[in-house]
A and B are shown apart, each in its own frame.
Chain A
Amino acid sequence: MPATSRVCQHPPMRRPATLVLTLTVLAFAGVTTWVGAISGAPPQFLVADAAGGLTFLAAGTIAMVLRPASPAGPALALSSALWFVGSYGPTGQPVVTDLGFAFEGYYDLVLAWLLLGLTGGVGSRSRPALIALGAAMALRSVGRLVFKDPASLGCPDCPPNPFSVLGSVAAFETTEILANAAICGLALAIGIIAIRRLAGQSSVARQSRAPILVAGTLAMAGAAFDAAEYAWSMATGMPLVSLPEPASEVFAWAVFALRVLVPIAFLVATLRVRGRAGALAPLAAGLGPAGTSPRDGGASIGAALRATLGDPSLELVTSAPDGTWRREDGTRTTRPAGDETRIVTVIGTPEAPLALLLHDPALVEQPELLDGTARVLALALENQRLSREVQAQLAEVRASRARIVEAAQAERQRVERDLHDGAQQRLIGVLLALQQARSKAGEGGDALAAQLDAATDELNAAVRELRELARGIHPAILEEEGLGPAVAGLARRAALPVEVDVLLDERLPRLVETTAYFVIAEALTNAQRHARATEVHVGVRRIERSLHVEVRDDGTGGADPARGSGLRGLADRVTALSGRLEVDSAAGRGTRVLAEIPVP
Chain B
Amino acid sequence: MTEIRAVIADDSLVIRHGVARILSDGGFRIVAEAGDADALLEAVGAERPHLAVVDIRMPPGGNAGLAAAIAIRERHPTVGVLVLSQYLEPDYALKLLGSGVDRVGYLLKERLGSADELLDAARRVAAGGSAVDPAVVAELVKARRRDDRLARLTDREREALALIAEGRANRWIAERLGITTKTLEGMSGTIFSKLGLEEDPDMNRRVLAVLLYLDGAA
Contact = CB atoms under 8 A, between A and B. Distances in A.
Given A425-B12, A497-B146, A464 B18 contact: no
Contacts of A275: none
B113 A456 contact: yes
A497 B145 contact: yes
B139 interface: yes
Contact of B113 (A434, A479, A493): A434
Contacts of A495: 144
B170 interface: no
B105 interface: no
A385 interface: no
A491 B143 contact: yes
A33 B112 CA distance: 128
A376 interface: no
B172 interface: no
Nearest to A427: B110
Given A428-B15, A467-B87, A480-B62, A488 B115 contact: no
A467 B14 contact: no
Contacts of B109: 424, 428, 431, 463
B200 to A, nearest CB: 25
Interface in B75-121: 86-92, 95, 109-110, 112-115
Interface size range on B against A:
20 to 34
Interface in B105-151: 109-110, 112-115, 139-140, 142-146, 148
A488 B218 contact: yes
B209 to A, nearest CB: 19
Interface string A472-486: 000011011100010
Nearest to A421: B57
A580 interface: no
Interface in A394-444: 420-421, 424-425, 428-429, 431-436, 439
A492 B142 contact: yes
Contacts of B114: 435, 456
A477 B92 CA distance: 8
B109 to A, nearest CB: 5
Given A429-B15, A439-B115, A480-B62, A467 B139 contact: no
B110 A460 contact: yes
A149 to B, nearest CB: 126
Contact of B25 (A434, A439, A476): A439
A428 B115 contact: no
A425 B113 contact: no
B91 A432 contact: no
Given A425-B12, A439-B25, A460 B144 contact: no
A430 to B, nearest CB: 9
22 contacts: A428-B12, A428-B86, A428-B109, A428-B110, A429-B12, A431-B112, A432-B18, A432-B21, A432-B112, A460-B113, A463-B109, A463-B110, A477-B87, A479-B62, A480-B62, A480-B63, A481-B92, A489-B89, A492-B139, A497-B144, A497-B145, A497-B148
Given A421-B57, A432-B19, A491-B218, 19 more contacts: A425-B12, A431-B110, A431-B112, A431-B113, A432-B18, A433-B18, A434-B113, A435-B114, A456-B114, A459-B110, A481-B91, A485-B91, A489-B91, A492-B140, A492-B142, A492-B218, A493-B139, A495-B144, A497-B145
A-B pairs with lowest CB-CB distance, top 3: A432-B18, A429-B14, A492-B143
